[in-house]
Structure 1
Amino acid sequence: HENESSSSTFAFGFLILLIILIPIFSLHSSHPSLENLLVLTVATEQTDGFERFMRTAKEFNYTVKVLGLGKEWKGGDVARTVGGGQKVRWLKKELQKYKDRPELVILFVDSYDVIFASSPRELLWKFSRMGHRVVFSAEAFCWPNQKLSSKYPAVKNGKRFLNSGGFIGYAPDIIGIIQQWKQKDNDDDQLFYTNIYLDKVQRDDTGRGRVRVRNVAYDTLPIIIHGNGPTKLQLNYLGNYIPTAWTHDSGCGICDDDLFYLGDVPLPIVQVGVFIEQPTPFLEEFLERLVSQSYPTDRLRLFIHNNEVHHEPHIQRFWDRHRRRFPNARIVGPEENLEQAQARTMAVELCREDPTCDYYFSIDADVVLENPDTLRILIEENKQVIAPMLSRHGKLWSNFWGALSPEGFYARSEDYIDIVQGKRVGVWNVPYITQVYLIRGMTLRTRLAQIGLFSQQGQDPDMAFCRIVRDQGIFMFVSNRDVFGHLVSTSSYNISRLHPDMWQIFDNPMDWKEKYIHENYTKIFEDDKNTVEQPCPDVYWFPVLSDRMCDELVETMESYGQWSGGGHKDKRLAGGYENVPTVDIHMNQIDFEKEWLKFLKQYVAPVTEKLYPGYYTEARAVMNFVVRYRPNEQPLLRPHHDSSTFTINIALNNKGKDYQGGGCRFLRYDCRVESPRKGWSFLHPGRLTHYHEGLPTTQGTRYIAVSFVDP
């Protein structure tokens, strides 16, 4: 597609070699004649460049009027700095002669560094085909004020920034621009034109830009576009833009049309279908988000299909907490042995057969809805079928396809990446949506009343659903007007582990952080004086792990159970000898070292670099382990240095509740920290200065996680 808006259409021309031109004002339909072309240039000296310019002009029969020849140049050293305003002043004076020539086309070009490559006839033909009243040449650099670059409209192809060395347009429009010059001779001409171009009122005298489609086979701009049969999907794609649905200048031009605003009247009743079809990380958090939507639960009807035995305890805990909110909920477990298509049909039927059901909202367990207004937003968009746009963190994998292959599978549309990355924002008609979507209840009871939505031979339920909806001529939309959340990855989820979410720091880093990093961790970088404590010289104390992470790490270690004996001989070490032994389990014994090192690099290293300015760490650590202290096992640790540049020591349980005693003493300073806080870490130098000991645990069991960093 092409955009007729003056700010976002960029066409190719032969003004100056093969340059790309920026259209300023549109439109002019007549074809200018050769007699109505005036070529102007400025030259104070007949340099070699000027002679070359005139030679090429003569070869193509251009008639050039030269301004300033033999006069003193007062426009500054434009080869080195800003300047060139004298050219505009001369133009302003000269153009007064042509103010009554509306049919006249004026071409202005520099002369010292310009050659003609084709005829006036081709120049005028290409200018008229561009359909704009003024066209400037373009370049790759925003000169002379780079701060203005963000104000330029985006372009898909070619150069983006205005160049004052060449422009063409109709006399009234060129004169209208030039007459605004009131600066000095040594002021910058390019900045002058740039400021006019960036003034949208002047740039776009047609109001809102329109998008056109070009027929590349015949190189025409159709007035009517007919998309029948298999071309309907392409027509849907074009309809996302034509004529003013979306433009680079204005963004979405129709997104606020026909919205359905939810007022104070009773909200629509929504049947929610939840589908847990595979082992999915962070399921408990997913379930809690269902009740955190800013939508009253008395207007929701809940259906849950769980196909995984692993998730039965999670659902039971959720149900125990929230059963009163959903008195009519229906939960179907793995014992029912339902196929996915059957389960989805069962949920849809609950809405289809209930005349009070206004909407059906389908959501899969790998959807993270961080926006609590998602349901309200989708309802207010007032579409028959609509999905919120979601993608995996840092990936292009999303819950929609912008196009289909001839076989009906995924194909990448031209705008897919821009939509996923939020560079184009709107409500998009697409051929495929999955994982989360809203359907109007009336649509289920009318146009989709007698149709099985999820069963087609040889197709998965999501493919079948989209195919059936498309075949009924119902548009499916995806909205990225708001940030709704993201998708979690399930590919590496290993439910053979006791707490498999702990291993998701690589595949699902945002969810891992939310669950396992202390809620006050980010305050370290906002207000370290009130968040980070220094109980002893160069010993820092800060929050890093959540209670949940502490508990699950301890439970994982106890489930593994192979605690060391606390003796000096240790076959786990390269030398087989531990100088200061503890009763511990190494992270690599539970296959967690890679994840722990990622944690150190992502969350401990930034704190270290903030608290010890000038020291930069790669967070390398060979010794990463959980220590267990018990009065009858190993209650304390004798004075020692750590084999590290710095050490972290994270308390994994609560003093006074889980154990008595414990703590750490730094002998050089005779400084004790006797009340460790769960989830908080000590950070202190390991060698030379911070000789320390572990104080006796007198009752219960104390757990700490330790890493010797940068050994």
Structure 2
Amino acid sequence: MEYLTFFFFACWISFANCVYSADTPQAPAPIPNEKLLVLTVATEETDGFLRFMQAANYFNYNVTVLGMGEAWKGGDVGRSIGGGQKIRLLKEAMEALADQEDLVVLSVDSYDLIFAGGPEEILRKFQQENHKVLFAAEGLIWPDKQLADKYPSVRSGKRYLNSGGIIGYAPYINKLVSQWNLHDNDDDQLFYTKIYLDPLQRETLNMTLDHKCQIFQNLNGAVDEVLLKFGTDRVRVRNTVYDTLPVVVHGNGNTKMYLNYLANYVPNAWNYEHGCSHCDDNVVDLSQLKEFPNVVVGVFIEQPTPFLPEFFQRLLTLDYPKDKLRLFVHNSEVYHEKHIQAFWEENRDVFNSFMVVGPEENLSQGEARNMGMDVCRKDATCEYYFSIDSDVMLNNRQTLKLLIEQNRKIIGPLVTRHGKLWSNFWGALSLDGYYARSEDYVDIVQRKRMGVWNIPYMAHVYLVKGSVLRNELKERKYFVLEKLDPDMAFCRNARELTSHREKDSPSPESFHMLKPPKGVFMYITNRHDFGRLISTANYNISHYNSDLWQIFENPVDWKEKYINQNYTRIFTENYLEEPCPDVFWFPVLSEKACDELVEEMEHYGSWSGGKHEDKRISGGYETVPTDDIHMKQIGFDKEWLHFIREFISPVTLKVFSGYYTKGYAVMNFVVKYTPGRQAYLRPHHDSSTFTINIALNNKDTDFQGGGCRFHRYNCSIESPRKGWSFMHPGRLTHLHEGLPTTNGTRYIAVSFIDP
């Protein structure tokens, strides 16, 4: 009985399979990749076209370019109707392909489009649609909104046709475009729309739209729908509304900058596994050149800027042949004329040439920057133009070489403000054209993602190829644009570059001569640490040496300029001395700091004279007076106390183990010893927990004699070193006196800490 049951069951299964096989159609065989032909129109090799071809080559697409080298007469498709020339060229190409029934033709734009997947995927998705012609779809209707109601209703997905992407069998594409009999500057999308909206044509040509972005993703009106999907080998764009992975991504309308952002990753530009994949493509090997390229360096000082002498010194120390550098300097600040003059007098013969345009010319920033760029543009031997603002501190001597090696039309090095996310580029723009933070901005600024990034806005420092200035950017007013600052104007003009025959705005009758936008891509590189931006916002130039006051605004630059180069060795190598018991001697200030502090005091000039009566202190009487000027008198007390907390307190903890100073002091002053006024100081205790005493000039060069004697230990220190500080207990144990200065003038900075 069990055997018969099993027998009948097996027969039933066999019969069911036979019935299923007979009634169910077989899935069509996959279309071979070689049966896909990509046709695109490009009259010039723009940056966008080269990016398109790079993605196409990555996936091994078979691409035929139509119209290369032909004059564009299709209108300004980025801003108005036009594009008919694309259909005319496609029509001409299809005449030779019309009888190839098994050939699939993919017609796409190229300047603002990238591939995210390969031929096999696109053919598979096309077959699944089961139509002969498939158009890209979008949620916005263009160019005739009155046609919206004539579109077939769609339960879910994009409703309107976009002509930037078409895929279909060759005979059907040929039947479609063979109907074209209009002008090159008529609108291509309107032509296709009218055919699609004709029910008879839609049925005859078996047309539909890619409603759910299986193949085509148009970004206009859909930026919020897409995000990046990172994989091991490559990156995709995912449509989150329809949960699809489009193969063709089109930055139509005003979404070209967002496409640039996506193309920094898609398909294989950057991922977490391998980092930057194309950073070393087409680089320039400077070691293989017979001589280094000629560079015009445009320096722009547009506001009072701290540490300007140091800025020029960094330019001087760039690792690049100086005879290949021509300097153009625009200075709009009278305050900085002394700094430029000093640098010029010392280095006038170092550079190939040195040109300065000063404040007397009364140029606007835009005019000055146009002039600087013109210096390179008009010189056929100028191969690069390097623009740098005075608030850029380059600490990488290889910066210029590294930028040239990347071989981009416009590229800047990433520089950031110390400890902040403020940098010299924007990752995105808002709808009104101003700052917006891209999703990857923080990672790029913090160098968590390193590479070469296509960005919409840059400022402060960048390199431009001279050939670009004489071709794509040959006009001479790129830094002047209504309501925009010069850098924003330049970037917008470069991004949205459109050339035409008329020098001014085109007239209606010349409109058809316009070319489509061929924007120049701008890049930022963070592959190396290049330097930083300094803050100029609160720079007060009323002081004699105004940089001294920058300890809060620009702490890194302040430290580099004013702290002794051996200071860190105190902690790494125990680089300090103990010449007397509990008296420690260590380097703290640079020679520049000592000189400028003395200059500041002498400029102020009101020395106290060493009198007992002193209205500057509580009670009005000083028991052991010195000939001095208080830090408060020159408005430097707050900065000096910060210096104590930042650079003296750590030393205190090291030498007086277990004592944590508050870093507070009421008495902070510079003392002046001269034989004619006050040569010495009688024995005394300081009203402090501990005291610092910093030598501000050199013994035997600036003065003779001097020093300090500690009575309890009968120990004298008679050879103070400039920039070095004594540190000793103030009360009870360390009675001391100032030894006589016998000749010249001796200066010391003193603080009674933790009184």
What is the TM-score with the length of structure 1 in the denominator? Answer: 0.70
Q: Please give the residue correspondences for 1:11-50 in structure 2 after superposition, counting only pairs within 5 Å.
A: none
Residue 404 in structure 1 maps to residue 429 in structure 2: yes
1:515 corresponds to: 561
Structure 2 unaligned residues grouped into runs of 5+: 1-120, 125-226, 498-518
Picking from 469, 494, 501, the partner of 1:444 is 469
**Alignment match of 2:274 (pick from 231, 247, 250):** 250
Match of 1:395 among 420, 445, 450: 420
Q: Which residue of 2 aligns with 1:569?
A: 613
Matched, 1:220 2:264: no
**CA positional deviation for 1:422:** 1.2
Residues 122-177 of structure 1: per-residue CA shift (max 9 Å, x gap): xxxxxxxxxxxxxxxxxxxxxxxxxxxxxxxxxx99xxxxxxxxxxxxxxxxxxxx
| Post-superposition offset of 1:437 | 0.2
- Asked if 1 retains the 8 angstrom alpha-carbon contact of 2:370 and 2:476, the reply is no
Cα deviation 1:314-342 (Å, max 9, x = unaligned): 11110111111124221111111111111
Amino acid at match of 1:358: E
The answer to whether 1:318 aligns with 2:343 is yes
From 608, 611, 622, the counterpart of 2:666:
622
Looking at structure 1, the residues matched to 709 and 565 of structure 2 have their Cα atoms a distance apart, in angstroms, of 28
Q: Which residue of 2 aligns with 1:486?
A: 532
Query: In structure 1, which of residues 608, 627, 640 is the aligned counterpart of residue 684 of structure 2?
Result: 640
Q: Displacement, 1:452?
A: 2.0
Q: Which of the two has higher C-alpha Rg? A: 2
Match of 1:610 in 2: 654
1:386 alignment partner, one of 386, 411, 416? 411
Residue 596 in 1 paired to residue 640 in 2?
yes
CA deviation vs aligned residue, 1:473-528 (integer Å, no higher than 9, x gap)? 11100000000000010011111111000000111111111111111111111212
Partner residue, 1:422: 447
Counterpart of 1:379, as a letter, is I
Q: 1:500 aligns with which of 546, 551, 573?
A: 546
Counterpart amino acid of 1:602? E
The residue type paired with residue 556 of structure 2 is: M
- Residues 595-632 of structure 1 show CA distances to partners (whole Å, capped at 9, x for unaligned) of 11111111111111112222222311111111111212
1:209 to 233, 237, 259: 233
Question: What residue in structure 2 maps to residue 359 of structure 1?
Answer: 384
Aligned partners of 2:639, 2:253: CA distance in 1, in Å? 52
Q: What is the correspondence of 1:176-187 to structure 2 with a 5 Å cutoff?
A: none
Amino acid corresponding to residue 372 of structure 2 in structure 1: A
- CA distance in 2 between partners of 1:415 and 1:478 (Å): 13
Tell me which residue corresponds to 1:653. 697
Give the match for residue 753 of structure 2.
709
Aligned with 1:377 (options 402, 426, 436) = 402
Equivalence map 1:229-378=2 (5 Å) = 229-264=253-288, 265-378=290-403
2:741 counterpart of 1:697: yes
Q: What secondary structure does 1:230 align onto? A: coil
1:71 matched residue in structure 2: none
Match of 1:201 in 2: none
Secondary structure, counterpart of 2:524 in structure 1: strand
Partners of 2:416 and 2:423 within 8 A in 1: yes
1:538 partner letter: D
Q: Are the equivalent residues in 1 in contact too, given 2:709–2:736 (CA < 8 A)?
A: yes
Amino acid at match of 1:507: E
Residue number in structure 2 paired with 1:547: 591
Partner-residue secondary structure (3-state), 1:272: strand
Residues 394-440 of structure 1 show CA distances to partners (whole Å, capped at 9, x for unaligned) of: 01111000000111011111111111111111111100000000001
Distance 2:253 2:458 in 1: 21
Query: Aligned equivalents of 2:464 and 2:414: distance in 1?
Result: 15
Secondary structure of the residue that 1:324 maps to in structure 2?
coil
Cα 1:329–1:449 shift into 2, 3 Å = same
* 2-structure distance, mates of 1:356, 1:388: 24
Q: Which runs of 4+ in 1 moved over 6 A?
A: none
Q: Secondary structure at the match of 1:383?
A: coil
Q: Which residue identity is paired with 1:300?
A: L
Query: Which whole-Å CA distance do the structure 2 matches of 1:559 and 1:435 have between them?
Result: 34
Give the letter for the 1:695 counterpart. L
Give yes or no for contact 2:389–2:461 (8 Å, CA) kept in 1: yes
Contact 2:325 2:352 in 1 (8 A): no
Q: CA RMSD in A?
A: 1.9
2:696 equivalent to 1:672: no
Give the match for residue 490 of structure 2.
465
- The offset of 1:669, in angstroms, is 0.4
Q: Which residue of 2 aligns with 1:663?
A: 707
Residues 33-75 of structure 1 show CA distances to partners (whole Å, capped at 9, x for unaligned) of xxxxxxxxxxxxxxxxxxxxxxxxxxxxxxxxxxxxxxxxxxx
Structure-1 separation of matches of 2:311 and 2:268: 38
Query: Letter of the aligned partner of 2:724 in structure 1?
Result: W
The offset of 1:635, in angstroms, is 1.2
- In the TM superposition, what is the alpha-carbon distance from 1:696 to its structure 2 partner? 1.1
Looking at structure 2, the residues matched to 475 and 217 of structure 1 have their Cα atoms a distance apart, in angstroms, of 30
Letter in 1 for 2:394: L
Please give the alpha-carbon distance, in whole angstroms, between the structure 2 residues aligned to 1:451 and 1:222. 41
How far off its partner does 1:217 sit?
3.0
* 1:560 lines up with 2:590 in the alignment: no
Match of 2:190 in 1: none
What is the CA–CA distance in structure 1 between the aligned matches of 2:407 and 2:253, rounded to whole Å?
A: 27
TM-score (norm. length: structure 2) = 0.66
Structure 2 CA distance, aligned partners of 1:256 and 1:326? 31
Query: Per-residue CA shift, 1:324-380, capped at 9, x if unaligned?
Result: 112422111111111111111111111111111111100000000000000000000
Equivalent residue letter for 1:405? S
Aligned residue number for residue 571 of structure 2? 525
Report the number of matched residues. Answer: 509
Q: Is the 8 A contact 2:377 2:466 kept in 1?
A: yes
Gaps of 5+ in 1: 1-27, 31-155, 158-203
Aligned mates of 2:240, 2:486 — CA distance in 1 = 37
Q: What is the CA-CA distance between 1:451 and the residue it aligns to?
A: 4.8
Letter in 2 for 1:227: G
For residues 475 and 215 of structure 1, the distance between their equivalents in structure 2, rounded to whole angstroms, comes to: 26
Range with greater deviation from structure 2 (570-579 or 417-426): 570-579
Mapped partners of 1:309, 1:450: distance in 2: 31
Contact residue 323 and residue 352 of structure 2 kept, 8 A: no
- 2:238 is paired with a residue whose SS is coil
Match of 1:121 in 2: none
* Aligned mates of 1:438, 1:256 — CA distance in 2: 18
Cα deviation code 1:558-617 (max 9, x no counterpart): 111222232222211122222221111111111101111111111111111112222222
Verify the 8 A CA contact 2:269 2:276 in the aligned structure 1. yes
Counterpart of 1:476? 522
Q: Distance in 1 between matches of 2:461 and 2:483?
A: 22
**Counterpart residue type for residue 217 of structure 1:** V
Q: Secondary structure at the match of 1:502?
A: helix
What is the letter of the counterpart of residue 480 of structure 1? Answer: N
